[in-house]
Structure 1
């Protein structure tokens, strides 16, 4: 049996604006997304029959609903629609490092890693745009992880323009052990209230330079924070321990602080670990991955 080992990175949203609700029920967004050096570890074992998932994390489905399994199935049936399938089955082993339901895109990243690995292994039958279009059928964040570089995302998050102007930052991620449903957050989002927020009204991004003081904004944060007040508490602690800025990622519940270097982030993690409030929290230090494969002006 053949085995393929791969890494699937997490992501954070350095800003996330919700610009409107679509007729199909989804929301249009404007977001700056960046991958992080925090990885799920995956091993694909080719052979056997069917597509299976093995993971010891209780929050990860091990059936056909798993996004990585869905990605494998979709790739094989699309790339080899006019040819015999090159394998009769495969098993996806997932070592989960990215917390589940945390706003860090772990499931989407796993799916993207499987798509990319299988496409490379079988001689790239799909072009990068074709692979990203396939990923968009699985989830809005999947094309971003296939791109593998910082990007400005529009549409439902699947229309991407690479963003080449980020400076290096190290993130301290704090996951308060609260899984959040993205669907619930969007369902409870009040766009009129969100747009009335003072900080949001002053948001101006020229598409070139990211400024922590001006651009660290997340329209979903007030919704999640209303149900999980711990988010506000974590933000205050990160800022008190030297973060240049702090914000919730995606729909939450992970909060990140941005630090000028890893030493400062590690010192802040040490200090937060001593805080009695943080006993059930999970803390990670990860550099922003500001370089990566770039596909200019990808449109799906």
Structure 2
């Protein structure tokens, strides 16, 4: 059995409050995009995890896919399997690739072993792996708040547009992204985005992390401006970066040549 865990982008991201536990309350919209990994499971004489594609710098037992299997194995008598992940979604990019892999692994194993878990049960398992993991169970446009673990569906359909994800050849760590962040109530309610023409997003739909990340990595801000110059109707950093995305009505033929060399481009 093989499935294709897809990435997400953040449309707007407001850091609204620092919590007593040290975390921050956020408001954002998770939107699924086509950029995908590939995950396969087959019967085996021992349970194992392997990977290809982008190198994963972690022991197999620490991978979220393996953790998803282990989580279900505590409650169910699972047979032995080999899991292989071909990694395409880059790390440290704000695209949720690891969370997607874990959530899709839960869904795949639920079907593979005929466990009969409901959507709510799968979301509960996913929440034990990561705050944004449950989003990928239903994998639909969602308003997320709290620490990114509370969800509300939104009616947002960008299927008429082309979404391009670009990533510079470096990552941004979470501590770097939070430098100089001052939590504040958002000026725009992201729940109203479905009623806002996309041409007006540029002025009101903001990612607060850009205020912190761009001064540290001016090449990311330059890349965002280049997406607008190439014709994007909206462009933004996703999550805490370093990836950005541009939403286009029509992709320009010279997009690749208009961006700096060394930039990873995903359509």
Q: TM-score, normalised by structure 1?
A: 0.80
1:256 to 245, 253, 260: 245
Moved more, 247-256 or 176-185: 176-185
Q: Give 3-state SS (helix, strand or coil) of 1:38's partner.
A: strand
Map 1:159-174 to 2 at 5 A: 159-168=150-159, 169-174=161-166
| CA-CA distance at 1:232 after TM superposition | 0.7
Q: Show the counterpart of 2:221.
A: 232
CA distance in 2, matches of 1:236, 1:55: 33
Map 1:92-171 to 2 at 5 A: 92-168=83-159, 169-171=161-163
Q: Show the counterpart of 2:168.
A: 176
CA distance in 1, matches of 2:204, 2:254: 23
After superposition, the CA RMSD in angstroms is 2.0
Moved more, 161-170 or 10-19: 161-170
The answer as to whether partners of 1:43 and 1:93 remain within 8 angstroms in 2 is yes
1:177 and 1:112, CA in 2 relative to 1: closer, same or farther beyond 3 A?
same
Q: Show the counterpart of 1:22.
A: 19
Equivalent pairs, count? 262
Q: Show the counterpart of 1:10.
A: 7
CA distance in 2, matches of 1:71, 1:209: 37
List per-residue Cα deviations over 1:261-284 (Å, max 9, x = no partner): xxx325252342xx5xx2111011
1:46 and 1:25, CA in 2 relative to 1: closer, same or farther beyond 3 A?
farther
| CA-CA distance at 1:215 after TM superposition | 4.2
| CA-CA distance at 1:54 after TM superposition | 2.6
Map 1:281-292 to 2 at 5 A: 281-285=263-267
Q: Show the counterpart of 1:185.
A: 177
Unmatched runs of 5 consecutive residues or more in structure 2: none
Unmatched runs of 5 consecutive residues or more in structure 1: 286-300
| CA-CA distance at 1:100 after TM superposition | 1.6
The answer as to whether partners of 1:243 and 1:259 remain within 8 angstroms in 2 is yes
Q: Give 3-state SS (helix, strand or coil) of 1:161's partner.
A: strand
List per-residue Cα deviations over 1:68-104 (Å, max 9, x = no partner): 11111112213x1xxxx130x3222111121121111
